[in-house]
Amino acid sequence: MPQPLRVELDRSSPVPLYHQVAQAIQAAIDDGRLPSGALLENEVSLAARLGISRPTARQALRELVDKGRLVRRRGAGTRVAPAAIRRPADLTSLFDDLNRAGRSPSTTVLEHRTVPASPEVAEALDLAEGAAVVATRRLRLADGEPLAVLGNFLPVSIAPDRVELESDGLYACLRTRGVMPRVANRRIGARSATAAEARLLGEPARAALLTVEGTAFDETGTPVEFGRHVYRASRYTFDATLFVG
């Protein structure tokens, strides 16, 4: 059963009651009183216990759902969302980053086939347009929870097979072939999820996604992979250190 959270409300404050409730819940999440996966009382119980209206309680919970701090599932109640994955904006493997963060990564290979390179892919990989490339699309999970959909194009000569990609990260697979990714260009953006992406990632329709697109190169400057990835914005962030010259 969910444990009632102590919430002190200042009814004379200009801060709306729903926001005061949301702030109290968020503070409890931040300081560990409400750990990841903790079940919260429903809005009816919350409203009755705090002496607020049900719409006010609903708005407080919705504010935290919209921020990615709570997750609401029909029949399962409202729970504290898993902690967001914070990843350095470096040339690292998501698979390895999850392991280092103490999370258990797993992969479902959604697509693995040989296709002719489109003009964009051919330019990124420095190949002739229409040349054969391997197209892969993978669902990456952390502790069994969907986190990202990873799309990559690779030259046929170095592309890992489906079995390899199900058990390890792409860059680890490339390293076993003697291919060492050293540098990459990356474009980070954002957009709304398509219906298919929302289903795969367990997000609401048109939820916010982070997008990453770019090419990785080996130590000789040869392109080794071109990727288009989407990440759940509610579960994932990129960290970057900037230097002033």
Candidates 245, 124, 94, 100; CA nearest to 184 is 124
The token pair at 106 is 């797993």
Tell me the domain boundaries of the chain: 17-80, 85-239
At residue 84, the pLDDT reads 60
Q: How far apart are CA 61 and CA 17, in angstroms?
A: 12
Average pLDDT of the residues of the chain: 86
The model's confidence at residue 70, banded by pLDDT at 50, 70 and 90, is confident
The model's confidence at residue 4, banded by pLDDT at 50, 70 and 90, is confident
Burial class (CB in 10 A: 0-12, 13-18, 19+), 106: middle
Q: 200 φ, ψ to 5°?
A: -65, -40
Candidates 117, 115, 116, 98; CA nearest to 106 is 98
pLDDT at 241 over 60: no
Q: Contact at 8 Å (CB) between 171 and 152?
A: no
Candidates 95, 1, 20; CA nearest to 64 is 20
At residue 30, the pLDDT reads 83
Alpha carbon 41 to its chain centroid, in Å, reads: 27
Mean pLDDT in residue range 155-165 = 96
The larger pLDDT score, comparing residue 104 to residue 13, is at 13
pLDDT at 90 over 50: no
pTM of the predicted protein model: 0.62
Q: Contact at 8 Å (CB) between 83 and 71?
A: no
The CATH number, out of the four listed (3.40.50.2000, 1.10.10.10, 2.40.340.10, 3.10.20.740), of the domain defined by the range 17-80:
1.10.10.10
pLDDT at 237 over 70: no
Q: Which fold has domain 85-239?
A: Chorismate lyase (3.40.1410)
Q: Contact at 8 Å (CB) between 209 and 192?
A: yes
The token pair at 194 is 């398509």
Mean pLDDT in residue range 77-85 = 75
pLDDT by residue (tens digit) across 109-138?
999 999 999 999 999 999 999 999 999 999
Query: Between vectors from CA 63 to CA 41 and to CA 22, what angle results, nearest 5°?
Result: 60
Q: How far apart are CA 139 and CA 148, in angstroms?
A: 6
